[in-house]
């Protein structure tokens, strides 16, 4: 039973990170500047999520697991 709960928790954490709002960043290789919009001479760096948003979601998931673990220990 605990393995099922841990698996579900892990899936929730991964899914939360995937569904976090992301931002695509671009850079100008000549100047090193970073931009949020595409433009001439800019290279896509990839999609990024806010570390703060991921941290909040992780804490929320950990809190839910702690509540479940407390109920199971009683």
Is the CB of residue 37 less than 8 Å from the CB of residue 62? no
Above pLDDT 70, what percent of the chain? Answer: 72
How sure is the predictor about 34, in pLDDT bands with cuts at 50, 70 and 90?
very high
Q: Is the pTM of this model over 0.75?
A: no
Chain-centroid distance, C-alpha 46: 14
- Number of structural domains (the chain) is 1
Average pLDDT over residues 3-17: 55
For residue 61, the enclosing domain spans 2-73
For residues 26-38, average pLDDT: 95
pLDDT for res 6: 53
């Amino acid at each position: 039973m605990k393995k099922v709960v841990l698996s579900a928790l892990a899936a929730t954490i991964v899914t939360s990170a995937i569904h976090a709002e992301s931002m695509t960043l671009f850079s100008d290789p000549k100047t090193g500047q970073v931009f949020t919009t595409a433009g001439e001479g800019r290279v896509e760096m990839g999609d990024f999520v806010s570390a703060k948003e991921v941290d909040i979601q992780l804490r929320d998931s950990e809190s839910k697991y702690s509540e479940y673990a407390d109920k199971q220990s009683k």
